Amino acid sequence: MNVGVAHSEVNPNTRVMNSRGMWLTYALGVGVLHIVLLSIPFFSVPVAWTLTNVIHNLGMYVFLHAVKGTPFETPDQGKARLLTHWEQLDYGVQFTSSRKFFTISPIILYFLTSFYTKYDPTHFILNTTSLLTVLIPKLPQLHGVRIFGINKY
């Protein structure tokens, strides 16, 4: 029992993406990012879409796949300390609604970006590379795997 802790979960990181309004907030955040980039006068529409996609995927990679641990005090004997947020999500259960949402959302953004950049080869390569950097770590086969020992500790 944790005295003075306001949450009832053992690890609140596991359920935060299922909280009420989280998906809407996430989608609105991506929309606001895109509107801000469109409002910059010297960015063309294809550049704004590509930047939206790359910034979104970079943020998703950092917050879901690179940062490990939890900002909460947990009584799990340090198990959460060694896991990324994606690995803690829904207690590691694969193919939950939150995991599906956060897997499909970069794909939808990628399709929108590809359409609005008119499949320009430069933008297409940048967007495809960006998409693969966030989709590959989400594969169930890579749960807990540290390639080349990166992010091992």
Q: Within a domain: residue 125?
A: yes
Q: Over the chain, what is the mean pLDDT?
A: 87
* pLDDT, tens digit, 9 for 90 and up, residues 77-130: 777 778 888 888 888 888 999 999 999 999 999 999 999 999 999 999 999 999
* pLDDT, tens digit, 9 for 90 and up, residues 48-59: 999 999 999 999
Number of domains in the chain: 1
What's the domain range around 95? 19-144
Asked if the model's pLDDT at residue 4 lies above 60, the reply is no
Q: Within a domain: residue 5?
A: no
Beta strands, E only, the chain: none
First to last CA, the chain: 27
Q: Within a domain: residue 6?
A: no
- List the one residue out of 66, 70, 63, 150 whose CA is nearest residue 102: 63
Instruction: Give the global pTM.
Output: 0.87
Q: Within a domain: residue 50?
A: yes
Q: Within a domain: residue 65?
A: yes
